[in-house]
Amino acid sequence: MTGKILVVGSNGQIGTELCLELIRRYGSDKVIASDIREIEGEVSCVFEPLDILDQDRLRMIVTEHGVKQVYLLAALLSATAERNPEFAWRLNMDGLFNVLNLAKEGLIDRVFWPSSIAVFGPNTPKENTPQDTIMQPTTVYGISKQAGENWCQYYFEKFGVDVRSIRYPGLIGYKSLPGGGTTDYAVDIFYQALEHQEYTCFLDEKMKLPMMYMGDAVNATVDIMEQPKENIKVRTSYNLAGFSFTPAELAKEIKHLIPEFKINYDLDYRNDIANSWPDSIDDSVARNDWGWKNEVDLSKLTEIMLANLSPKFNSEK
Ligand code: NAD
Ligand code: SER
């Protein structure tokens, strides 16, 4: 691969694991991590502080390092965005334009930009939500993702910008913490289960949502970027699915391994956000176009999370 890879938002839930995978596949000299927050801990690649809204600095980093691929992860997620809609719109849209416009100028060859199941809304078919369907999102986050998808397609069609995208479901991993989404409960529950054997959930016990193990999501992300251009037939964003579960079903899985675990419910505004999203996703288009498949199911995920988080808890005690 020619040129370097820039990850924007590298300190976040996905960025942390994505940088590790990019370094594993291409070497640490190929990867540049960047974030508005200073890096915590050790990174094994170059780190550049960057506010993605500062296009001059982005341009400088891209030209100085010879960056040819950008993974743009900086955004406000669903729950945080609802609390600050105007800023969420600005960050989520202007950040994307800043990257797309450098690609349009020819400075960057390939862009990854994540969309979300939040592009769907309450009028979307809930079960096996198809790739192409009604999209009337009711959150500012969903509106920004839907607009972003259309801008990605526009830049591809009008200017030949090679931008690729996945509609991630809720992502669950043990190496990093989530940053303000509605699906965050499905990570927090494991920490609370290990520390207190009890968790109070802000979603209804029957709130089924599409989810995925972070390792699968990161593999999909790098895999779609490695595809030859002709395999990428969707230039808005691809549906991607792992498995779906409710908080009650997740609690039951955890109880198999921690029998004393107990879940309580205290719903907040995030329950309304979740209620507007699909229960399950049809990702057959991604499977056919570029061979996507997930490896991890719910019981495997539960095992992985508890096995990897419990040593952390034991060593901190
Ligand atoms: P996160 O909140 O954990 O990480 C985002 C990172 O971006 C943070 O480290 C933050 O410091 C950084 N950032 C914020 N503002 C910035 C700015 N102005 N300039 C540079 N960096 C900035 O989010 P995440 O979960 O890693 O999500 C990354 C992307 O994936 C987002 O676009 C999100 O919408 C999308 N996504 C995530 C999920 C999920 O479950 N995590 C699901 C669907 C889509
Ligand atoms: N996991 C994300 C969120 O809850 C979905 O995009 O905001």
**Model pLDDT for residues 135-180, shown as the tens digit of each residue:** 999 999 999 999 999 999 999 999 999 999 999 999 999 999 998 9
Measured by CA distance, the residue closest to atom 4 of ligand 1 is 12
- What pLDDT was estimated at residue 2? 83
Does residue 1 have a pLDDT over 80?
Answer: no
Using the mean position of ligand 1's atoms as its centre, give its distance from the Cα of residue 178 in Å. Answer: 9
- What pLDDT was estimated at residue 78? 97
Does residue 317 have a pLDDT over 60?
Answer: no
CA distance 196 to 209: 25
Report the pocket of ligand 2 as residue ranges, CB < 6 Å.
77-78, 116-118, 170, 181-183
pTM for the model stands at 0.97
CA distance 45 to 131: 36
Does residue 82 have a pLDDT over 80?
Answer: yes
**Quick check: is 269 catalytic?**
no
- What pLDDT was estimated at residue 43? 76
4-170+213-239: CATH topology is Rossmann fold (3.40.50)
Does residue 316 have a pLDDT over 70?
Answer: no
Q: What is the pLDDT of residues 236-292, one digit of tens each?
A: 999 999 999 999 999 999 999 999 999 999 999 999 999 999 999 999 999 999 999
Q: What is the pLDDT of residues 5-50, one digit of tens each?
A: 999 999 999 999 999 999 999 999 999 999 999 887 677 999 999 9
Write the secondary structure of 26-84 as one string of H (helix), E (strand) and C (coil): HCHHHEEEEECCCCCCCCCCEEEECCCCCHHHHHHHHHHHCEEEEEECCCCCHHHHHHC
List the Cα angle 254/168/130 in 5-degree steps. 105
53 lines ligand 1 (CB under 6 A): yes
Share of the chain above pLDDT 90, in %: 95
CA distance 126 to 280: 7
Q: Which overall architecture, per CATH, does domain 172-211+242-316 show? A: 3-Layer(aba) Sandwich (3.40)
Using the mean position of ligand 1's atoms as its centre, give its distance from the Cα of residue 92 in Å. Answer: 10
Measured by CA distance, the residue closest to atom 6 of ligand 2 is 116
The structural domains of the chain, with segments of one domain joined by +, span: 4-170+213-239, 172-211+242-316
- What pLDDT was estimated at residue 94? 98
- What pLDDT was estimated at residue 22? 97
Report the chain's mean pLDDT, rounded to a whole number.
96
DSSP string, 79-128: HHHHHSHHHHHHHHHHHHHHHHHHHHTTS-SEEE--EEGGG--TTS-STT
Determine which one of 26, 71, 141, 155 is catalytic: 141
CATH topology of 4-170+213-239 equal to that of 172-211+242-316?
Answer: yes
77 lines ligand 1 (CB under 6 A): yes
